Structure 1
């Protein structure tokens, strides 16, 4: 009589996905550990198993976890390419479950992503992920998957023309918020923006996402309707920005600009004049202050104004250089935020000052012909500065 060998059989039709177990699988937690976690928490989607410490019931739960892990491993290649998942005929998976599988698989971990922002998505960076795993207290394979997801999207779409956001949503079927995160991660990594210097350590992933989003919307070639990839800055825009040097090169314009800003700031902050003057200025006689034609200039200290002006103009006029563009975030901190913080201004006051700075700059004839270019730059730069300033100032002093 022929002996039939024992075989393990896994049969599937309408698949059931236990997303609690999927959550553990995505974090590379072993089946044994997951079983223990489910038993200790008493939570599971398995209605026919009463979870307790009984060895038989626990073995049933363990088998269920293994079945789920086996299923996840089989569908993973399709989940990595969502357009394949939604057209495959091997598994009967509802559209809602497909969407949940993809969005959870591609979900970004802020701590891990923070460590790879701006770095080249290469084998060398992947080899260094053991340091990221140790720093973030995440499992190495989890870090690998986060990196591989970013690299997969980058490699798939690096030569696609048009909107990177639209391309990601079309090819990977991700929800818009998540697609925006990948858009910025790919953008910052493609252009190698410096995000890891010590002075930038206080910034979070969401801070970079917001600033990067502004750059993509205003500074890239695709933002002008060009068919060039959205991972490229608009070269014509960057070259025209060099003309804003007039704001710092002409001393008369500098003085007039500071005077205009002081007048506008005094309308919003009438007490600022007392706070910004030095003790010597405060002790001057009332008569001498009245006679001073340019007393309103004192509302914005000359040293502060010159530092901020040089900082903004330097950043703007040098963006056409690749290295200077890569140092945008560190330049913002060193050349603009640090001088502003010396005044202990609140976020709202800094925002008002920068908005007034931007609008009053266009009152000069020399700047009016570059008004569109200046607005594109200043809108993005100011919102980025305010975001970064607010983050570094955890308490609003207003």
Structure 2
């Protein structure tokens, strides 16, 4: 009687254990020796009596593991096709999210700069200025560049594209979307007058512009990318130039003053006392707002958007030491008061364009008014 043999493939494995604290230290650029000290301090009770050599050995094992994983983290979409290491889904999400997380202060320094090799070599200055490790600064710079390169030519929703390609949470994908949006439009962010602005200010404004000024049509007339301002909208903005004509500006101002008085006599009195010439402030602000709309059509001019907002609108209001709530009232009434003017009654589509422009601009001005 012959013997029958059956081949059996056996795989024995277990989930790879990731120490989140050690992973964070690795991301921050700490050496294994520095991390071992931090681990011992954090887990002093648990590790009491454990020899230092065992702690450093464990840290070194984790560091070697992170080195193996890093290549996969740079192409997160590949992760779903299988890991050579057994890592559960929850840990994968943690590894990816933390690897792509960034410090506001570091990205604030990167904003507005070309994502070039030369600027990467100058990250030592960023590290010293922000007190964030050089290795971490380089990782953050490389991640921004990687995300930008991956999505710059994609159509469709920018946030979804980033989520889909890098397996990030919606929160983090939104943060990256605003950074690459600013990079794509080459907005000026480093001039002295706007140095006071934080990453949170640029995030807020870029998100508002992405959401409200980009082309919503999947087949945009001018084939804009999701990182471009809707060109049809930009062309429509040119028609707002009519508001600078004397008769329309006077009518707008009269409507504005009427609305302001009806809202609050106390507020009207306070503004009159604080602002020596409310008439002049209205006209100057109106000219600035309309001129900014008109210049959005010009590539070089659009780069100075944040600078223009600060220089032409925020600083004149700051000179009167107005509180933010008064600025909010001024801008809200400025936006709403021309509704019944002939130019908008005759052309309802232009009113839609006006609101689309002003709601976003007002939101940015208020955010940037520190």
Structure 2 partner of 1:386: 366
What's the offset of the Cα at 1:157?
1.4
Counterpart CA distance in 2 for 1:224 and 1:143 is 37
TM-score (norm 1): 0.84
Structure 1 partner of 2:5: none
**Post-superposition CA distance 1:140-179 (Å, at most 9, x none):** 1211100000000111111111111110011111101100
**Post-superposition CA distance 1:119-160 (Å, at most 9, x none):** 221222212212111111122121110000000011111111
Structure 2 partner of 1:373: 353
Q: Which moved more, 1:151-160 or 1:353-362?
A: 353-362
Matches within 5 A, 1:1-398: 13-42=14-43, 50-52=46-48, 57-221=51-215, 223-225=216-218, 226=220, 228-248=224-244, 250-277=245-272, 301-368=278-345, 369=347, 370-389=350-369, 392=370
Gaps of 5+ in 2: 1-11
CA contact under 8 A between 2:260 and 2:268: conserved in structure 1?
no
What's the offset of the Cα at 1:261?
1.0
Secondary structure, counterpart of 1:271 in structure 2: helix
Secondary structure, counterpart of 2:51 in structure 1: helix
Counterpart CA distance in 1 for 2:80 and 2:91 is 10
CA contact under 8 A between 2:224 and 2:231: conserved in structure 1?
no
Secondary structure, counterpart of 2:228 in structure 1: coil
Counterpart CA distance in 2 for 1:101 and 1:278 is 57
What's the offset of the Cα at 1:95?
0.6
CA contact under 8 A between 1:218 and 1:376: conserved in structure 2?
yes
CA contact under 8 A between 1:272 and 1:299: conserved in structure 2?
no
Secondary structure, counterpart of 1:134 in structure 2: helix
CA contact under 8 A between 2:255 and 2:338: conserved in structure 1?
no
What's the offset of the Cα at 1:118?
2.1
Secondary structure, counterpart of 2:312 in structure 1: helix
CA contact under 8 A between 1:164 and 1:230: conserved in structure 2?
yes
CA contact under 8 A between 2:163 and 2:169: conserved in structure 1?
yes
CA contact under 8 A between 2:224 and 2:230: conserved in structure 1?
no
Counterpart CA distance in 1 for 2:268 and 2:365 is 24
The count of corresponding residues between Structure 1 and Structure 2 is: 353
Shift in CA distance, 103/319, structure 1 to aligned 2, threshold 3 Å = same
TM-score (norm 2): 0.90
Shift in CA distance, 239/374, structure 1 to aligned 2, threshold 3 Å = same
**Post-superposition CA distance 1:21-65 (Å, at most 9, x none):** 000000110000111122233359xxxxx524x6x6111111100
Shift in CA distance, 299/271, structure 1 to aligned 2, threshold 3 Å = farther
Counterpart CA distance in 2 for 1:89 and 1:230 is 33
Counterpart CA distance in 2 for 1:193 and 1:29 is 34
Structure 1 partner of 2:7: none
Counterpart CA distance in 1 for 2:341 and 2:271 is 26
What's the offset of the Cα at 1:238?
0.9
